[in-house]
């Protein structure tokens, strides 16, 4: 069974550009999470969805960040406009259902903003 699939694996772009990260959760999983990982701040939860509905976006750093989940098999995280301090590895994870179930992570998107 395929795990969580993220694309692209690497993204390098210039400051000010729009960046879109994509995630396909494991089929049948109802909860989806976006995380950011940096050396300074570690793993941070940005936002999570349950049944395609955003539940908690308090971790989203600024209005430049937005996330959508139009259907059960696809989610996007968008940064517009991007800034150098957004450089990080962004992970998507999914879990079977609500409340404290194991989260399965994708291999991440390494984002570099020049």
Partner 1 sequence: QQQVKQSPQSLIVQKGGISIINCAYENTAFDYFPWYQQFPGKGPALLIAIRPDVSEKKEGRFTISFNKSAKQFSLHIMDSQPGDSATYFCAASNNNDMRFGAGTRLTVKP
Asked whether position 78 contacts partner 1 by CB under 8 A, the answer is: no
| Residue 31 found at the interface with partner 1 (CB under 8 A) | yes
43 part of the interface to partner 1, by CB under 8 A: yes
For position 53 contacting partner 1 by CB under 8 A, the verdict is: no
CB burial of residue 9 (10 Å; 0-12, 13-18, 19+): exposed
Integer CA distances (angstroms), 57 to 1, 7, 34, 60, 79, in order: 29, 21, 10, 6, 14
Binding stretches for partner 1 (CB under 8 A)? 4, 31, 33, 42-45, 48, 50, 55-56, 91, 93, 95, 98-108
């Amino acid at each position: 069974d395929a795990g969580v699939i993220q694309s692209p694996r690497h993204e390098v772009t210039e400051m000010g550009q729009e960046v879109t990260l994509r995630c396909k959760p494991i089929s049948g999983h109802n909860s989806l999470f976006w995380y950011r990982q940096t050396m300074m701040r570690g793993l941070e939860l940005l936002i999570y969805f349950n049944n395609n509905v955003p539940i908690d976006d308090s971790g989203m750093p600024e209005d430049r960040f937005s996330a959508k989940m139009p259907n059960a098999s696809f989610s996007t995280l968008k940064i517009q406009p991007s800034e150098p301090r957004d450089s990080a590895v962004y992970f998507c994870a999914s879990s079977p259902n609500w409340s404290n179930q194991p989260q399965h992570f994708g291999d991440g998107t390494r984002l570099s903003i020049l």
